[in-house]
C-alpha cells in the first residue's frame, strides 16, 4: 500500500509519521528533539516499541537522514513511500489549499515567513532537507491557514486603515485549519445532513482557537494574523486591549518585542496559575484546593465560551459543537465549564456522557434536551496531510 511520510518541522524539533491515508495507525512515527543542541535525540515508535537514538548531526538534515537510514535499514518492512507531506503554519493569502511544492511555492512559503518568523523558516529548512534526501519523491505543503481563506472580508479585515491591508496584507488569517477541515470531514460521516449543517469547533490544546463552519467552510475563527489572538491558551494571553502592550513595555522598561514575548510565552494558563501551562497539572492543583488553579481554569473556559458565542454570530443556527485538541478531547472539567456558559444558546451537556467519553474515540455528549449536538472528536492533522499528499500526487501523476 502506498504511504506518505508526514513531516512537521519546528525550529528545534521535527515530528514525523508514515501513514497510508486511512484510519490505520501510523506505521512509524517519532520526533527529533532539541535540534541544534548537543543533547539532540530522535525517537522512533514502531509496532508499540520505542527506541531513542542520539543525533550526532544535530540539525534538521541529521534528523531526516536518521529517518531515511531507519527506513533503509528496515527494508524487509512493508514501507512503500510515494510522497512527503509537509505541515506549513502560514500560507498567507497565497495558499488557499494544499499544493505540490516547486520553486515558486517554496518562494511563497518564504514570503509568508514575515507573519510566522519562528515557524515558516523551519518548515522551509525541513522541505529543502527532505527534497535533498528524498529527491525522487513529490513533496506537498499543507497550510494551517488555508481552510480560513473562505472568510468574507467583513470577518478577516481588522478595523484599521484599509491602506495597511492593501500595502502590507495585515488581516486575520486564522490557524488550526488542518484540524478544522479534518473535523468537518469526520462530522460529515456521522449523519446524513451533517455536511450541510452549521458547526462550532473548539480546538483546545496548548494553542487554542475556535471556528464557525457553515456547510464545510470556515466562516469565522478566533486566531488572527498570528496565533496570539482569541482564546486564552497555555502560555498565550489571547485577545486583550492592544494598549496593554505599550503599558507593559513602558512599565517594565523592555522593548515591544519583549513585551510581546510575555503575551506569547508567559501568559495564559501559565501566567494566571503560576503553576504550569499544562491543563492536567492545573486540574490536579485545582482538585487539591488551589484557588489560582480554579481561577485559571474558569478564565480559560469563560474566554473559550465567549469566542464560541462570538463566531456563532456568523451562523443561522448551531447544529453541532465539537471539542477537539488535547484539552478538548480529554478534559470533562473544561468541557462542562464551557457548556454551562453557553446555556443561553440552548446548549445542554449530558454530564455523565461527558465524564465517560472514551479517550481517542468519537462520542456524543449532549443531553436530549439540547438544541445542539455536542461531540468529542479526536483530531488527526497528520492523516489529512497524508490524504492531501496522496490525492495531489494522484492528480499530477503522468497518464
Ligand atoms: P498542542 O498540539 O497545541 O501542543 P495538545 O493538543 O497536545 O497541544 O494539547 C496539550 C494540552 O492538553 C495540555 O494542556 C495538556 O495538559 C492537555 N491534556 C492532555 N490530556 C489531558 C487530560 N486528560 N486532562 C486535561 N488536560 C489534558
User: In this structure, is the dihedral angle defined by the CA atoms of residues 330, 336, 341 and 344, taken in order, positive or negative?
Assistant: positive
Measured by CA distance, the residue closest to atom 24 of ligand 1 is 331
Question: pLDDT tens for residues 124-147?
Answer: 999 999 999 998 999 999 999 999
Helix (H, G, I), strand (E, B) or coil at 113: helix
Q: Above 70 in pLDDT, residue 8?
A: yes
Q: Above 90 in pLDDT, residue 118?
A: no
Mean of the pLDDT values across residues 234-260?
97
**From CA 232, how far away is CA 302, in angstroms rounded?**
9
For the annotated catalytic residues, the residue numbers are 144
Residue 8 has phi, psi (to 5 degrees) of -125, 100
- Cα-to-centroid distance, 176 and ligand 1 (Å): 15
Give the confidence band of 297 by pLDDT, cuts at 50, 70, 90: very high
Q: What is the pLDDT of residue 54?
A: 94
The strand order across the sheet containing 320-324 reads 217-221, 208-214, 198-204, 320-324, 373-376, 363-364
To the question of pTM greater than 0.85 for the whole model, the response is: yes
- For the chain, the average pLDDT equals 96
Q: How far apart are the first and last CA of the chain?
A: 20
Give the confidence band of 385 by pLDDT, cuts at 50, 70, 90: very high
Q: Quick one: residue 8, left, alpha or beta (phi over 0 = left, psi -120 to 50 = alpha)? A: beta
Ligand 1 contact, 69 CB (< 6 A): no
Contacts of 158 (CB under 8 A, 6+ apart): 164, 165, 170, 171, 172, 224, 225
Ligand 1 contact, 330 CB (< 6 A): yes
Helix (H, G, I), strand (E, B) or coil at 86: strand
Q: Above 70 in pLDDT, residue 245?
A: yes
Question: pLDDT tens for residues 45-94?
Answer: 999 899 999 998 989 999 999 999 999 999 888 899 999 999 999 999 99
Q: What percent of the chain has pLDDT over 70?
A: 99
Q: Above 70 in pLDDT, residue 302?
A: yes
Q: What is the pLDDT of residue 135?
A: 87
**From CA 41, how far away is CA 54, in angstroms rounded?**
4
**From CA 293, how far away is CA 279, in angstroms rounded?**
9
- Asked if 351 contacts 218 with a C-beta cutoff of 8 angstroms, the reply is no
Q: What is the DSSP letter of 312?
A: G
- Asked if 358 contacts 345 with a C-beta cutoff of 8 angstroms, the reply is no
Ligand 1 contact, 267 CB (< 6 A): no
Q: Above 70 in pLDDT, residue 398?
A: no
**From CA 263, how far away is CA 102, in angstroms rounded?**
36
Half-sphere exposure of 106 (CA within 13 A, CB side): 13
Atom of ligand 1 nearest to the CA of 203: 6
Distances (CA, A) of 216 to 66, 71, 183: 39, 37, 9
Nearest to 81 by CA among 3, 16, 23: 3
- Cα-to-centroid distance, 44 and ligand 1 (Å): 22
Ligand 1 contact, 276 CB (< 6 A): no
DSSP H stretches of helix in 195-290 = 243-252, 256-265, 268-273, 279-287
C-alpha cell at 380: 488527526
Measured by CA distance, the residue closest to atom 13 of ligand 1 is 278
Mean of the pLDDT values across residues 9-25?
93
Half-sphere exposure of 144 (CA within 13 A, CB side): 25
Gyration radius from the chain CA atoms: 21
Atom of ligand 1 nearest to the CA of 379: 6
**From CA 396, how far away is CA 88, in angstroms rounded?**
21
Measured by CA distance, the residue closest to atom 2 of ligand 1 is 205
Q: What is the pLDDT of residue 117?
A: 87
Ligand 1 contact, 370 CB (< 6 A): no
Neighbours of 90 (CB within 10 A): 26
Ligand 1 contact, 202 CB (< 6 A): no
The strand order across the sheet containing 81-88 reads 49-54, 41-46, 28-33, 14-19, 3-9, 81-88, 139-143, 99-100
C-alpha cell at 216: 464545510
Question: pLDDT tens for residues 273-296?
Answer: 999 999 999 999 999 999 999 999
Question: pLDDT tens for residues 173-223?
Answer: 999 999 999 999 999 999 999 999 999 999 999 999 999 999 999 999 999
Give the confidence band of 399 by pLDDT, cuts at 50, 70, 90: low
Nearest to 47 by CA among 13, 18, 22, 81: 18
**From CA 297, how far away is CA 363, in angstroms rounded?**
23
Amino acid at each position: 500500500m502506498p504511504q506518505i511520510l508526514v513531516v512537521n518541522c519546528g525550529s528545534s524539533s521535527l515530528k514525523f509519521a508514515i501513514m497510508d491515508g486511512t484510519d490505520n495507525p501510523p506505521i512509524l512515527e517519532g520526533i527529533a528533539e532539541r535540534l541544534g543542541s548537543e543533547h539532540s535525540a530522535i525517537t522512533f515508535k514502531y509496532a508499540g516499541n520505542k527506541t531513542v537514538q542520539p543525533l550526532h548531526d544535530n540539525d534538521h538534515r541529521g534528523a531526516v537522514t536518521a529517518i531515511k537510514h531507519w527506513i533503509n535499514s528496515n527494508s524487509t518492512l512493508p514501507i512503500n513511500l510515494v510522497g512527503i507531506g509537509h505541515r506549513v503554519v502560514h500560507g498567507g493569502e497565497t495558499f488557499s489549499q494544499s499544493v505540490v511544492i516547486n520553486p515558486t511555492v517554496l518562494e511563497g512559503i518564504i514570503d509568508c515567513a514575515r507573519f510566522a518568523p519562528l515557524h515558516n523558516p523551519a518548515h522551509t529548512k525541513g522541505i529543502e532537507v527532505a527534497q535533498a534526501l528524498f529527491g525522487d519523491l513529490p513533496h506537498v505543503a499543507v497550510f494551517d491557514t488555508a481552510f480560513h481563506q473562505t472568510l468574507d472580508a467583513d470577518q478577516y479585515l481588522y478595523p484599521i486603515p484599509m491602506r495597511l491591508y492593501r500595502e502590507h496584507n495585515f488581516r486575520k488569517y486564522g490557524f488550526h485549519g488542518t484540524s478544522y477541515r479534518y473535523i468537518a470531514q469526520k462530522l460529515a460521516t456521522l449523519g446524513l445532513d451533517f455536511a450541510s449543517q452549521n458547526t462550532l469547533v473548539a480546538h483546545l490544546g496548548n494553542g487554542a482557537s475556535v471556528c464557525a463552519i457553515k456547510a464545510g467552510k470556515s466562516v469565522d475563527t478566533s486566531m488572527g494574523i498570528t496565533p496570539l489572538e482569541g482564546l486564552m491558551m497555555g502560555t498565550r494571553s489571547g485577545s486583550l486591549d492592544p494598549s496593554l502592550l505599550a503599558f507593559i513595555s513602558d512599565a517594565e522598561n523592555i522593548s515591544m518585542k519583549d513585551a510581546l514575548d510575555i503575551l506569547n510565552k508567559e501568559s495564559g494558563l501559565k501566567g494566571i496559575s503560576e503553576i504550569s501551562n499544562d491543563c492536567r497539572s492545573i486540574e490536579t492543583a485545582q482538585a487539591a484546593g488551589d484557588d489560582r488553579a480554579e481561577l485559571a481554569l474558569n478564565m480559560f473556559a469563560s474566554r473559550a465560551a465567549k469566542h464560541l458565542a462570538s463566531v456563532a454570530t456568523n451562523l443561522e443556527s448551531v447544529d453541532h459543537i465539537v471539542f477537539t485538541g488535547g484539552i478538548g478531547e480529554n478534559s470533562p472539567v473544561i468541557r462542562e465549564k464551557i457548556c454551562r456558559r453557553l446555556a443561553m444558546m440552548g446548549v445542554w451537556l449530558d454530564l455523565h456522557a461527558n465524564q465517560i467519553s472514551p479517550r481517542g474515540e468519537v462520542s456524543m455528549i449532549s443531553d436530549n434536551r439540547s438544541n445542539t449536538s455536542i461531540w468529542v472528536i479526536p483530531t488527526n492533522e497528520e492523516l489529512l496531510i497524508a490524504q492531501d499528499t496522496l490525492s495531489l500526487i494522484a492528480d499530477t501523476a503522468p497518464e
